[in-house]
Amino acid sequence: MGSELDKYSKQTNRRLVIGFIIILLIIGDGLIYLFYGKGSAISGLICIGAGFVPIIFIWASLQVVEKIAKRSRVDEVEE
Is the predicted pLDDT of residue 59 greater than 90, yes or no?
yes
Q: pTM higher than 0.75, yes or no?
A: no
In Å, how far are 21, 30, 35, 67 from 38, measured between CA atoms?
A: 20, 10, 9, 43
User: How many secondary structure helices (H) and strands (E) does the chain include?
Assistant: 3, 0
Range 3-32 average pLDDT:
93
Give the per-residue pLDDT at 3.
81
Residue 32's Cβ-count burial label (10 Å; 0-12, 13-18, 19+) is buried
Q: How far, in Å, CA of 77 to CA of 73, rounded?
A: 6
Give the per-residue pLDDT at 70.
87
